[in-house]
Amino acid sequence: MPAAARPHSRQWWALAGYLAVSYGVAALGALASADAGEVYAALVRPGWAPPAWLFGPVWTVLYGMMAVAAWLVGRQPDRPHVRRAHMWWSVQLVLNLAWTPLFFAARQFGVALLDIVLLLAALATTVVLFWRLSRTAAFLLVPYLVWVAFATALNASIWQLNP
């Protein structure tokens, strides 16, 4: 294999790795909340709450965008800033993973709200750090940021409506 092809090939393997991590988090969250649809249906929800079927497709797209964003940042030459940005990307991913079992399996809506507020803050930090390295990567996280902000409001409303 020519030398010039090797780095390009490694870049695609790196993307596959980011996709595996992102969708791995999604899979773990799904395992931790096998009865999420039943729990969601049984909750008193605000009138603006989306239907349960919408969450799967939205999260599928968002996890893919998270992975591509992290991959784009990983390709940047400023290694200390890349490491810092990836650290925050990892923090938000862990908080993302924690939310699903807190909300659906444990039904700890208040604790889940605290987690998602921390997720929102970590994600906003990630967007800022990604912006400094790759504007495209930052833009890829904006729909995720908007969705998490919406989910935060929904979580707060559900916590209030389901004491």
Token readout for 34 is 């096998």
pLDDT exceeds 70 at position 3: no
Average pLDDT over residues 125-152: 98
Domain ranges of the chain: 5-161
Q: What pTM, to 2 d.p., does this model score?
A: 0.90
- Is residue 74 within 8 A of residue 82, CB to CB? The reply is yes
User: Angle, to 10 degrees, between the axis of helix 79-100 and the axis of helix 52-74?
Assistant: 160
Report phi then psi at 145, rounded to 5.
-60, -45
Each residue's pLDDT tens digit, 48-90: 999 999 999 999 999 999 999 999 999 999 899 999 999 999 9
Q: What is the mean pLDDT of the chain?
A: 92
Report phi then psi at 49, rounded to 5.
-70, 135
* Per-residue model confidence (pLDDT) at position 4: 43
Pick the CATH number of 5-161 from 1.20.1250.20, 3.40.50.300, 1.20.120.450, 1.20.1260.100: 1.20.1260.100
- Is residue 15 within 8 A of residue 23, CB to CB? The reply is no
CA distances from 33 to 13, 28, 104 (A): 30, 9, 6
